[in-house]
Structure 1
Amino acid sequence: MENKSADWDPRSEAVLKDQLATYDDMRRRCPVATSRYGYTSLFRHADVMHVLMDHETYSNAVSRFPSVPNGMDPPEHTAYRRLIEPYFEPQQMEAFAPVCREVAVRLVQALPEQADVELMADFAQIFALQIQCAWLGWPVELHEPLRLWTLKNQAATLARDEAAMSAVALEFDGYIKDLLTARRNAGSAAPDDVTTRLLRDQALGRPLTDDEIVSILRNWTVGELGTIAASIGILVHYLAGHAALQQQLREQPALLPAAIDEILRIHAPLVMNRRVTTREVTLGERTLAAGTRLALIWASANRDEAVFGDPDEFRLDREPQLNLLYGAGIHVCPGAPLARLELRVVMEELLGRTRRMALLADQQPVKAFFPASGFSSLPLHIEKAENATPHG
């Protein structure tokens, strides 16, 4: 239901022209703002952090679909969270790192030696898809159906077409249930991968149901495909516009983890996340009734001058706990270690195997539409290095 007397319209042409500038303005002018779409948006770091640290007042149970564990509150959330966290432990990331490196190397090597490319379609989206399938143990034959599914999902979300979103969700469920059936039929010969491990997981004292596994994998896949591709686009765009930093990171790849988090603080790959109030609250001198739907605008909170000073100043010595790139509180992103591994490796290979990445003067990037972030198209000139720097 749309609110006609709203403080802002996140989908308006003016906002979409420059989302970050709009968020900066809203943070100063109207930090707790109603939108046309039934959400009250929070723009300040302090307000977002307050919500993240009070899960009893601000519930995560906002989705129309089962959402394990993202859309749950304690105590239900606690048990599922305990189940999924081991999948992202350091030893799991260490075991996956060589596979991640192999995918990154193959795709960087496939880029032309010296040419203009469209980075999003030619590289970022392909990497996100292939790396997610590799981590989950999904077959190569699923790459193209999942690519098309991602496009349909984005179109349905952008159009706010609930019927289309439901159809897309059912299509994804079908892919997963086919994979589960194949693994059950294979018995002890089933591949030893994340999907099979979920099928056999007994952390709840019982096997997970198919619906629970589908929900977990949907959450991981939808989040991963969109944000990893967006993050690569944002990182490369920033470095292409900052040649000195680009070269510094080539020469000092150990700085990459901090640099990646800082660039993605400046330009968030994920615009917002949702909550709903369980009681009447006051935020920014505005009283909100129980049941008020909230949009936590990460892309604004991580640029708050009260916390970061000049939001566009690139610094490698930021306090990591202030950066809300992966959230905070009990719902902090469990997949952060995987995302950090994938982004570090892909940027090491991109920088190590090129000598120059530059924006094109005659072709402008196309910004992604809300609720997406980053770029839907990123024309780029790439020059490969004669002697690639090996990593890993």
Structure 2
Amino acid sequence: MSHSLNDFDSEAPEDFDSGHAEFARLRRECPVAHSEGLGGFWALTRYDDVRRAASDPATFITSVQNVVPKVAFTGRRPPLHLDPPEHTPYRRTLNPLLSPDRAAKFEPYARQCARDLLAPMIARGHGDVCGEFASFLPVQVFGEWMNVPDHWVGPLHQSGRAFILAVNLNQPEQMKATSLKLYEMARELLQLRKAEPLDPEKDITSALLASLERGEDMTEDLIVGMVRQVLVVGIVAPTVFMGSMAVHLSHHPDLQAQLRADRSLVPAAVEEFLRLYTPYRGFARTAKCPVEFGGRTIPEGEGIALVYASANRDEAVFENAEEFILNRANIADHMAFGRGPHNCPGVHLGRMQVRVMLDELLAMTTHFEIDGPVAPARWPEIGAISVPLKLVAA
């Protein structure tokens, strides 16, 4: 195993598959790896190491750096940017609004959005499944979930998409500018809910204000940060993940035909796609003391990427890990939504959206295939941010 400080180049040009190929190499040769790129960080690529770090918030904190590259230029945003117990009141307020039952209530709306977005693409026979479909639907669903004014949906999509592209292109100034725009929207929404509060059991901004009034250990500035976080965090992963599913199914028309013929298989297929194409390379932590993984010591205070996308392809845990296997026996062990106290609170809403997107794409077509260059996502995402498809109407 190499002990240089640049075990891999995190800024190297990539295509859709090369990031996963590099992680496979690192799992074999250098599972605890350091890159000098993107500000410098360590990467844990094996399942057991990622699970250990994600499950130990006392040692591996998120309040210093939560993603690679470090993009929080504009203030702390709960709950991801805070450690327990500081983050706990924010999660306690958020979790009930993202329960399985609550997420299910938005499925009919998500299906209608999916059909409306797909219809013009299918009518003309082509379209970008990321830019024209998967980046819009989460904004619409999250806008409905957050009760934002209807006229916000367009600007929110524009700002959220601009932020995602700035992160992928590693443009710090553009990241900061687009993040500040999202902060403006968060402050406006907070003021709106102060003036016109909604039922706290159905509205996250009203629920946060109610928790603050009850004396929960919160601040108004951090509530603004949390609203800012929620505005965009649910947009990124579904966009990239839908792109990855479209690429895979274009390359495997037999699987595409199987799922279209029996759409009851879609939920199981989505779980295996989540394992195989986990949309985040990994969230970051910082060790509060020197820590050892596999005979290598990571110094205190240095950024560590928990590479969920690599852990979910670890051959020691998932047999034939690079293959898509429907109804995989241990599929529940995947960590696509993280692990520990910072696991994704939107897991149920996110699952519902990507399941609906795939289901409706299959229902409204008889076939689709790649119809141009696929644009790969970069750190912290992995997958595709643009997938042009040729679409044959059902």
**TM-score, structure 2 length as denominator?**
0.88
Q: 2:373 aligns with which of 364, 367, 374?
A: 364
Instruction: State whether structure 2 residue 58 is matched by structure 1 residue 56.
Output: yes
Instruction: Summarize the alignment of residues 38-117 of structure 1 with structure 2, pairs less than 5 Å apart.
Output: 38-63=40-65, 65-113=75-123, 115-117=125-127
2:347 to 330, 336, 359: 336
Deviations 1:306-331 (A, max 9, x none): 11122222222232342010011222
Unpaired stretches in structure 1, ≥5 consecutive residues: 386-392
Query: Cα distance 1:132–1:9, how it changes in 2: closer, same or farther (>3 A)?
Result: same
Q: Which residue of 1 aligns with 2:69?
A: none
**One-letter amino acid of the structure 1 residue matched with residue 11 of structure 2:** R
The verdict on how the C-alpha distance between 1:203 and 1:50 changes in structure 2, with shifts beyond 3 A counting, is farther
Corresponding residue for 2:312? 302
Tell me the residue number matched to 1:389: none
Distance change >3 Å, CA 285–CA 342, structure 1 → 2: same
Structure 2 residue runs of 5 or longer lacking an equivalent are 66-71
Q: What are the equivalent positions in structure 2 for 1:172-187 lying under 5 Å apart?
A: 172-186=182-196
**Matched residue, 1:384:** 393
* Distance (whole Å) between structure 1 residues aligned to residue 106 and residue 35 of structure 2: 42
Instruction: Give runs of aligned pairs for residues 1-392 of structure 1, distance below 5 A.
Output: 5-13=5-13, 18-36=18-36, 37-63=39-65, 65-113=75-123, 115-158=125-168, 160-186=170-196, 193-201=203-211, 205-206=215-216, 209-315=219-325, 316-360=327-371, 363-385=372-394
- SS of 1:113 mapped into structure 2: helix
Separation in 2, partners of 1:345, 1:14? 29
Cα distance, 1:359–1:192 mapped onto 2, change above 3 Å? same
SS at match of 1:294: strand
Say if 1:280 and 1:290, in contact at 8 Å, map to a contact too: yes
Cα distance in 2 between the residues matched to 1:351 and 1:54 = 41
The answer to which of 240-249 and 293-302 deviates more is 240-249
Residues 1:189 and 1:74: Cα distance change in structure 2 (over 3 Å)? closer
Number of aligned residue pairs? 381
Provide the secondary structure at the position in 1 that maps to 2:7. Answer: coil
**CA–CA distance in 1 between the matches of 2:217 and 2:48?**
40
What secondary structure is seen at the aligned counterpart in 2 of 1:372?
coil
The alignment partner of 1:13 has SS state of: coil
- The one-letter code of the counterpart of 1:287 is T
Residues 83 and 274 of structure 1, relative CA distance in 2, 3 Å threshold: same
Encode CA deviations 1:340-379: one digit per residue, 9 max, x unaligned: 111112222111121111223xx23222233332223212
Distance 1:98 1:238, change over 3 A: same
Question: AA paired with 1:324?
Answer: M
Q: Which moved more, 1:347-356 or 1:152-161?
A: 152-161
Counterpart-to-counterpart distance in 2, 1:122 and 1:162 = 25
Per-residue displacement from partner, 1:119-161 (whole Å, max 9, x unpaired)?
A: 2222121222222212212223223322332243234434545
Which deviates more from structure 2 when the two are superposed, residues 156-165 or residues 211-220? Answer: 156-165
The whole-number CA distance in structure 2 between the counterparts of 1:48 and 1:12 is 23
DSSP-derived class of the 2:286 partner? strand
User: RMSD between aligned alpha carbons?
Assistant: 2.6
**Contact 1:9/1:15 (<8 A) preserved:** no
Does the CA-based 8 Å contact 1:183-1:191 persist in structure 2? Answer: no
Q: Give the residue type in structure 2 aligned to 1:47.
A: D
